[in-house]
Amino acid sequence: DIQMTQSPSSLSASVGDRVTITCRASQSISIYLNWYQQKPGRAPKVLIYAASSLLSGVPSRFSGSGSGTDFTLTINSLQPDDFATYYCQQSYSTPLTFGQGTKVDIK
Amino acid sequence: QVQLQESGPGLVKPSQTLSLICTVSGGSISSGGYYWSWIRQHPGKGLEWIGYISYSGNTYYNPSLKSRGTISVDTSKNHFSLKLTSVTAADTAVYFCARVGSDYSYYYMDVWGRGTTVTVSS
């Protein structure tokens, strides 16, 4: 199985901050990497696929980068609606695997 | 707009079989080009992929289930289902169904159900 490791596990930030979350795969996954946002009591919502492609309707303050084993999700100018938990997920091979999540809360 | 809705018992006894259904509305499960997936989330924990099925019935499972899981599709009812046998307290979780879409070969879960909580307890 491909292990996905996110860092940090949690972070505190203020509205307007730039936030960066890192995801590392245990082996190369090319750009087969997705990012999801989950709010308490809700289902995850996909933000980015193929490492850097933004889903339609997702605000442009979200961006993704990386390839191989190292990936980054960046949120520029954090908004109140962005406080949530973020997960990376590899789609390179089955079993599909997720990172452990990064919780972004209000400083 | 495609929507998914999970249904099934919220309480299952240990050693019994957990059975859930995901009903697809706003689109046909037979339309092709998609996989239909189950994912679970243990209380306060991260996401675990259980498996998925294509509209034609090809299935892929997480080996962590140790062959206890079966996913099937019923095109006449426009739903797909999950059966998990020999459940234990470790199977207590929120179970989500999701559609797996793609852009070329890049697959992602683009539509999710709201999730259903299943507790395994006597």
Tens-place pLDDT, residues A2-48: 999 999 999 999 999 999 999 999 999 999 999 999 999 999 999 99
Write down the mean pLDDT value for chain B.
95
Which residues of chain B lie closer than 8 angstroms to A98, CB-CB? 46-49
| Residue of A31, A46, A100 lying closest to B109 (CB–CB) | A46
Which residues of chain A lie closer than 8 angstroms to B103, CB-CB? 49-50, 53
**Mean pLDDT along residues A75-89:** 97
- CB distance B49–A46 less than 8 Å? no
**Mean pLDDT along residues A68-92:** 97
Ranges of chain B with pLDDT below 50? none
The pLDDT score that the predictor gives to residue B31 is 82
- CB distance A36–B109 less than 8 Å? yes
**Mean pLDDT along residues A87-100:** 97
Q: CB under 8 Å, gap of 24 or more: what pairs does A38-44 form?
A: A38/A84, A38/A85, A38/A86, A38/A87, A38/A101, A39/A84, A39/A85, A42/B114, A43/B96, A43/B98, A43/B112, A43/B113, A43/B114, A43/B115, A44/A87, A44/B47, A44/B96, A44/B109, A44/B112
Which residues of chain A lie closer than 8 angstroms to B60, CB-CB? 94-95
The pLDDT score that the predictor gives to residue A91 is 97
